[in-house]
Structure formats: structure tokens, C-alpha cells
Structure 1
Amino acid sequence: MEGKLATDPRTLIHREPMSRFQWGVVATMIGLNALDGFDVLSISFASPGIAAEWGIDRAALGIVLSMELVGMAIGSVVLGGVADRVGRRATILGCLALMTGGMLGAATADGVTILSAWRVLTGLGIGGMLAATNAAVAEAANDRRRSLAVVLMAGGYPVGTIIGGMISAVLLAYFDWRAVFVFGAVASAIFVPLVLWCAPESIAFLMHKRPPDALARINRTLGRMGHPPVESLPPASETETRKTPVGALFSTALARATILLTLAYLAHIMTFYFILKWIPKIVVDMGFVPSSAAGVLVWASVGGASGSLLLGLLTARIRVLALTIAAMLASTALVILFGRGQSDLTGLSAVAAIAGFATNAGVVGLYALIAQSFPTGTRATATGFIIGIGRGGSALAPALAGFLFAAGYGLQTVAILMALGSTVAAIALFGLRGWRQPEERAA
């Protein structure tokens, strides 16, 4: 480390190979998204026990299953903007506090209303978390590995449901449904010191906001990456000094990406959550015990993790947009196949796995597209807005499916209707062909 460089530190990150430290940041964010995956689906693991203990029907259960999605929508929009103002790291730590409190509260709930309120609080933390981690991963990775890093981060979600499902199956064999939420609270709390140790604020964010100690913090992070320090920071550009409210997402430069990605996410995530939220209840209604239901959901998540990994590996050879459109079309077909039903657990697990493969590949592809479609100053805001609007609408998915079931429609009919969301998403993504975000156009 001889002398100091007079260069933009972002250039080092964009062009140089990824260091162990950078991959460590990515790994931490993968873990956080895995935690999100478990916390979202904890209500699915617990739902058969809740329905049996409280005697609630499918329509009421569908509303409970939707509550954290409402919180996630609000958290994504509100806390996504916060992540662009106060930082990715501070937002992540605040979200972990919300998630820990929400999970502990859910374990003490004694009725649908109280449980729903705690699930909304948990959802607030989950929604803000994903907006912040998506931006943090995109800014920790170099240009060559950015899409792969974001896809791997998003792939943490099904990994969390796999691990969480396996643990939930054991817990439900010995304890009641409350144990699932207690485990989630403990896991959320454990991540606080891990983030403090492994995930400093991103250099791109510090360059954008320019706090008084920006140079010292940037040089500390560069040192952990194995790069020499910089002597001074280049002058801030106009876009770095300008505030970035949500309205900026609808500027001439960004409106196309904002509208099309929001529509795609909203449509596809309804299909995604139909599968994940209703598998346990469908399995129990077929006559199997709740621990078996958790096992089928684990297989859906195994398929989801495999879809994430395959899409990530293919990003080195095929454009993310083309991969994501293909995943959406496959999702439509496989969710319809899931709706045909199976007579045994083995067949149901296999169909759930391949449906999870396609639906989750579509989701992680969307996260990669969001990360590459917006500049640093709007990346977390855009992620939060798109995910927030999408999840706000998708909160209707479990409830809508519940009302359709209650109205007498069979699984096959409901599955066909819910699968159409992925088709709409594929159509919206066709409109992104040829799109380049403003920072790339200026390069």
C-alpha cells in the first residue's frame, strides 16, 4: 500500500476483482434474505395449528396470511426511501429490531386481530430489509459479478424457507405453533452483531451522501477490500447532491423502468405467494399432519433455491431480462400443473418443487433487473417502491385464493387464475428490451 490514489473509489470496486471481504458482504446479505424467507413463511408453517386451535375458516386464515404482506408493502416504500437517506446499514439494523419484536409478539397472540397486528409489524421490517439488502449487494459487487451477486442474495429467500421449514417441522412435532415465532425472533436478534461486524456502509452510498467522515469511512472499507486508500474524493455530481424523492422514479429518464418493473413484480408476486402461502393448508386438508405440510413447503423452497442458483449461473452467458421472461412463462405452466393435485406426498412434493423452481427464478430475476436499472441515488428507493407496490397488491393473493376456495372453486381452477400473474409479468418485461439506466448511458 504505497502512497495514496487520486481516483474515484467506485472505479476500483466496479473494475477490480471481488475480494473475500466483498463476498463476505454478499454472504451476510444472503443470510439476511434467508431470514426474510423464514419470517415471511413462519405464518404458513404455523397456520394449520392456528386454524385448529382457534377454529377459523379458510377465508379468515387467508386474511391472516396476508397481513405481513401489507406490512411489507408499507415497509418497502417507506424504509426503502430511508435507506437512500440514512444508509443501507442503519436501515438493516432498524429492520432487524422490528422483525425481532414482531416475531416475539406473534408468539404471544391470543386472537386473529392481535396476531394480524404483529404480522404487520414483522412485515414492516421485512419490507425495508429487502430494499436495503438489494442496494447493498449491488453496491458491494463489481460490474462483472453484480447480477450474480444480486441473484445469489435473492436466492437466500428459499434457502431460509428450507432451513426454517426443517426446523419448523421438528418444532411442530414437539411444541405448538408459537415455537415457530420464538425461533424466528431469536434468529433475527442474532443477525444484529453479524451486520455490525461484516457489513459497513456501502462506498457508493457514502460517495452519494458525502457525510463529514465519508473519506475516513471509505478508506477503512477500501482497506478491508485490499485496496489502497484515496487521498481525496472527486467533486460531487449534480445527481449526487440532489435529493431523490419517490417522484424522481417517474422522471423521463426512469419512468419506463419504474412502471414496467412495478407491473411485472406485482403480477408475478401474486402467483409466487399463492404457492408459498397455501401449500401447508392444502396439504393438511388432504389429510396429512402439519409437520408433513412443512416438509412439502421445504421441497417447494428446494426447487426455489435451485431456480435461483441456475439463473445466477446463466447470467454469465445469457441476459438477465431474457432469463427472467423465460422463468415467468415456465411459472405459469408449472403453477397450473400444481393445481391438478396429487394423491400422495411424494407426487405433491415433486410438483411443488418444480413450481417453486420457476416462480422463485422469476422473483430473483426481477431483483437483478431492479438493481441494474436504477442509479445509486435511487436504487433503494426504487427497490422499495417496486417491491412495496407489488407486495401491497400481492397481499390480495392469499386472501383472494381463500375466498375462491370458500366460494366452492376447486384447486385446479384457483391455480389457473393465480398463475396468470406470471404471464402478465412476462408481457410487461418485454417492454424493457433495449433499456439502459442513466449511469450506463453516461458511461
Structure 2
Amino acid sequence: MESTTSLRPRSIPDIPADPTKEARTAIWVAAIAGLSLLFDGFDLTVYGTVLPGLVKGGSDALGWWSSGLSGGQPIPPAIAGQIGSYALVGVMIGSLTAGAIGDRIGRKKLILVGIAWFSLGMFASAFATSIAFFGTLRLLTGLGLGVLLATAGATMAEFAPAGKRNFYNAIVYSGIPAGGVLAALLGLALLNQIGWRGLFMLGATPILFLFPMALTMLNESPRWLLSRGRVDEAVAISRRTGIPLTEHQQFGGVPVAEDLHLEQKTGFAGIFSRRYLVGTVFLGFMSFSGLLLTFGLNTWLPAIMGGHFQEAGMGADAAKRYGLIFLLLLNGGAVVGGLIASMVADKAGPQRVIITTFTLAALSLTLMTFGFPIGLLLASIAVAGVGILGTQVLIYGFTSNYYATHVRAAGVAWCSGFGRLGGILGPLIGGWLAAAGVAGDTAFYVFAGVALFGALMTVLVPRPAKGHSDREQLEAEQDVAGVAA
């Protein structure tokens, strides 16, 4: 991990923003980063889509160490919960690794590595024949997913027009719940035809089209290049993309035009410096709460609701279908609600909006226990999607704009990596509750309590400390406060 940056900056041309080029560039970056996270979300959600069938066993079930289980033996819920957490362990490791090196080697290289890695991991997972091999591949696939989660937001924040950063980050990170929608839709339409292995193979297709698109269409961030002292490259890309650079753009509090030797903390050393320490801690716990809710419910909601409907007298196939519909609404609500909330966040400030959506999640999850008719239950879970997955979308955007360029990748990686502890715990909690025979109502109360904890953590996040701040960071602080930059 790199702790300091040293370079001798020099004068750069005054390059104002070209609104047409800047908007076109932002759209391309959002498309590439958003599609990356769409398949990221698909890969992380598809396990919950196929879980009910894996738990029950069958002719295509996983064996313990080699071939399929004789007689179609089921996977115990506790083991199923552990498997669901393996990918999230990989995501945590991948995110933290990206944070350690992302502010040193750049954004584009990490995005390319992440796309290729998780695509190959999903392809290999489709051929697993044992629980041990499948779990190992889920962990390895998670490494690539984590790299993308840590890098996409940092990239988008450096290409998004000022004053629209929360919205563009929401577009990118809405790819995660959109991937959940895709997993649920494909599960409803194709699971019986192509099986769980076929769904995993679909998750490997980005290497065929998204990798070439990113390789040819994605530029390195000119702001990152400038922070590394690569002025000529930054100027060339700025002119080509419309991203502004000015003579008085600052780096670490000192204008680039000054011929000074600079040394400042980057990477994790930077986000744990006195300037960012308190915010870094509470941002981590915000993400912890959001991802515990996200992956706990994405993994177990079909099983919880399917069991609820079976207890109410519904047939097993119909109950399974309704469970997938609930998963679809959870993620669909997040996509729509997250985009709307992000536009509000650009005006009112993301912090206040996140507090509101966390509270909304707690309320809607509590309402799920009231035994309403199915129509109201469907509406409640859609609202819960806004408050759970939509909140996590806003958290990523908030974090991307909270840190300056030289520590941004590390900040987003910390948000994603530390948050994965919650993501790992979510499926485990669902598995423990299912193994203990605890009713679905209790699970919803547990998750509602986590949402309230997340709201409290959000209240405690301070604004970035005043002091040495580059021009971009001044704009970011305005975005955090909800003032047009």
C-alpha cells in the first residue's frame, strides 16, 4: 500500500469544461461502470435465486466433495448461508486490495481486471460438482466483484459533471439492484429450463462484450493522472473528453502551477489521517448496515416468503414463484427509488436523504410482519427495496464524493470492503435463523433494527475537515452539502 505521493508539479493549460464532450464522456463512463455493476449485482443475487432448489436437493444437486448427492439430499440451511457468504468474503478482499493499489495504478486497469476475473469465475462455478469446489469458486469470483465495486464509484466521480455527481453515481450503483432484478427475472423465466448452472453461465458473458467495450471506450481519469504528476496525459485526455483542468487546479492544497515538491498521504493512510478518520469510521458502519440488509434479504427473502406462503396453504411451486417475485420487487424498488432519491440528494444533500431511506427501510420491514393481504405485502417490499438497496446506492455515491482524488479509490474501497463484513454476516444471520426454526417475523424485526443502526451512523458522519483541499474537493464538499457546484 502506498502511503505518500511525491512529484514536482508544473503549470498546466487552462482547459475549461466542454459541456457537450463532458456529458458524452460521462454517459459512456456511466454505461461501462453501470453494466459492470449490473453483472456484479446479478452474480451476487443469483445465488439467492437458485438457493431454494439447492437447499432442497435433486438430480443436479452439489455433493459434499465430489459428485451430486445420491438421492437428491438437501443442503442444510446453515451450510447454504455459509456458501452465500463466501462470495462476500472475496468481495471484501478484492475491495480492500483495490483500495490499496487503486490510487497508485489507476482506474481503468482495475476495471478491466475486475470484469475478466469475475466472468471467468462465474463460468468455472457453473461446472462445480461439489459444495467445497463451488464455495471456493464463489470466494474467488468475489475478488473480481470487489475490485469493480471499489473502482466504479471512484471512476464515475472523476468524470461526472459538477452538481450531478450523486445522480451519476446512483446510475452506476443502481446496476447492483438492477442485476438483482435481472437475476430474479431470469430465474422466473429460465431456471426450470436451463437450471442453476445455465444462470451462472449467463453471468460469465461480460467478458465477451463488456471487456472489449471498456478496453476501447474507457479513458483513464485526467484528475487521477494529474494527481500522479502525469500532466501531459491529463491534458490530452481532458481535451478529448471535455473534463476541465485549470491553471489553478490544486493538488494537496498547493496549486499545480507552483514548482514545489509535494508529499501527501494516499491510499488507506490518507483516509485514516486526521482529516478523514471520523468520517471514515462512520461511513464504514453505514455501509456495514446497508450491505447486511442487502445480502441478508437477497439471499433469504425467497426462502422466507416461500415458507410463509406454504404455511398459509399455498402450493410449493406457487410459493417459490412468489418468493422470486418478492426478490424482483425488492431490487426493482431500489433501482427506481435510488435514482429518484439521488436527484433529491444533489439538491438537499445525500446525508439527510440516507437517514430518511434507512428509516423507511426499518418501517417497511416492520410492516411485513403485520399479515397484510398480498398486495400490501408486495408494496411494502418494494418500499423496503428503496430503503435497503437504494440506500446502499446513495452510500456509495456519498462516499465517492466525500474524498479527494488522491484517496478516493481507498475511500470507496473501505466503504465496500468494511461493508462486506455486514454482507458476509447477512446470509449467515438468515441461515442461523432458518436453522433455529425462527419465524420470518423475527427475521424482519432483526433487519429493521439494523436499518435503524445505519440511520444513526449516518447522523454521526461529519463533513470533511477544512484545511488543505484541492479544487475538486471543494466542489465535492459542496455536493456533500447539497449545494450546486
Q: Distance in 2 between matches of 1:105 and 1:340?
A: 43
Q: Distance in 2 between matches of 1:151 and 1:436?
A: 25
Structure 1 residues 325-336: aligned runs within 5 Å: 325-336=355-366
Matched with 1:153 is 172
Matched with 1:7 is 13
Q: Is 1:367 the counterpart of 2:396 in the alignment?
A: yes
Q: Distance in 2 between matches of 1:368 and 1:80?
A: 16
Q: Distance in 2 between matches of 1:302 and 1:174?
A: 24
Structure 1 residues 254-403: aligned runs within 5 Å: 254-285=276-307, 286=310, 287-288=316-317, 290-340=320-370, 344=374, 346=375, 348-403=377-432
Matched with 2:125 is 106
Superposed CA offset, 1:196-235 (max 9, x none): 1221111111111234xx51464145224388999x9945
How far apart are 1:393 and its partner, in Å? Answer: 3.5
How far apart are 1:416 and its partner, in Å? Answer: 0.7
Q: Identity rate of aligned residues, in percent?
A: 24
**Which has the higher mean CA deviation after the structures are superposed, 169-178 or 158-167?**
158-167
Residues 72, 239 of structure 1: alpha-carbon distance in 2 compared, 3 angstrom cutoff: farther
Residues 48, 143 of structure 1: alpha-carbon distance in 2 compared, 3 angstrom cutoff: same
Q: Is 1:45 the counterpart of 2:49 in the alignment?
A: yes
Residues 410, 96 of structure 1: alpha-carbon distance in 2 compared, 3 angstrom cutoff: same
How far apart are 1:84 and its partner, in Å? Answer: 1.3
**Higher normalized helix content (fraction of residues):** 1
Q: Is 1:83 the counterpart of 2:102 in the alignment?
A: yes
Q: Is 1:137 the counterpart of 2:166 in the alignment?
A: no
Q: Distance in 2 between matches of 1:254 and 1:239?
A: 23
Q: Is 1:184 the counterpart of 2:206 in the alignment?
A: no
Matched with 2:242 is 225
Q: Distance in 2 between matches of 1:34 and 1:218?
A: 32
| 1:328/1:426 contact within 8 Å kept | yes
| 2:21/2:241 contact within 8 Å kept | no
How far apart are 1:405 and its partner, in Å? Answer: 2.1
How far apart are 1:139 and its partner, in Å? Answer: 0.1
AA in 1 matched with 2:442: T
SS at match of 2:418: helix
Residues 432, 8 of structure 1: alpha-carbon distance in 2 compared, 3 angstrom cutoff: farther
| 1:76/1:127 contact within 8 Å kept | yes
The gaps in structure 1 that reach 5 residues or longer are: none
| 1:22/1:140 contact within 8 Å kept | yes
Superposed CA offset, 1:225-270 (max 9, x none): 388999x994589897545241322111010110110111112321
The gaps in structure 2 that reach 5 residues or longer are: 1-10, 62-73, 250-254, 311-315, 475-485
| 1:79/1:384 contact within 8 Å kept | yes
SS at match of 2:220: coil
SS at match of 2:444: helix
How far apart are 1:173 and its partner, in Å? Answer: 2.7
| 1:327/1:359 contact within 8 Å kept | yes
| 1:405/1:414 contact within 8 Å kept | no
Q: Distance in 2 between matches of 1:238 and 1:342?
A: 67
| 2:275/2:465 contact within 8 Å kept | no
Taking structure 2 as the reference length, what is the TM-score of the superposition? 0.82
How far apart are 1:87 and its partner, in Å? Answer: 1.0
Taking structure 1 as the reference length, what is the TM-score of the superposition? 0.89
Matched with 2:479 is none
Q: Distance in 1 between matches of 2:451 and 2:424?
A: 16
How far apart are 1:124 and its partner, in Å? Answer: 0.9
Residues 343, 227 of structure 1: alpha-carbon distance in 2 compared, 3 angstrom cutoff: closer
**Which has the higher mean CA deviation after the structures are superposed, 331-340 or 352-361?**
331-340
Superposed CA offset, 1:285-307 (max 9, x none): 33335555333311111111111
Q: Distance in 2 between matches of 1:51 and 1:433?
A: 44
**Which has the higher mean CA deviation after the structures are superposed, 43-52 or 255-264?**
43-52
Q: Distance in 1 between matches of 2:373 and 2:141?
A: 35
Residues 318, 436 of structure 1: alpha-carbon distance in 2 compared, 3 angstrom cutoff: farther
Q: Distance in 1 between matches of 2:296 and 2:239?
A: 43
How far apart are 1:78 and its partner, in Å? Answer: 0.8
SS at match of 1:19: helix
Matched with 1:416 is 445
| 2:400/2:408 contact within 8 Å kept | yes
Matched with 2:188 is 169
How far apart are 1:337 and its partner, in Å? Answer: 2.3
Q: Distance in 2 between matches of 1:388 and 1:235?
A: 36
Residues 190, 291 of structure 1: alpha-carbon distance in 2 compared, 3 angstrom cutoff: farther
How far apart are 1:435 and its partner, in Å? Answer: 4.2
The root-mean-square deviation of aligned C-alpha atoms, in Å, is 2.8
Q: Is 1:32 the counterpart of 2:36 in the alignment?
A: yes
Q: Distance in 1 between matches of 2:180 and 2:388?
A: 14
| 1:223/1:229 contact within 8 Å kept | no
How far apart are 1:33 and its partner, in Å? Answer: 1.5
AA in 2 matched with 1:360: L
How far apart are 1:440 and its partner, in Å? Answer: 6.4
Q: Distance in 2 between matches of 1:6 and 1:176?
A: 57
AA in 1 matched with 2:232: L
| 2:271/2:277 contact within 8 Å kept | yes
Q: Distance in 2 between matches of 1:266 and 1:51?
A: 27
Superposed CA offset, 1:374-423 (max 9, x none): 11011111111121011124301111221122112111112111221211
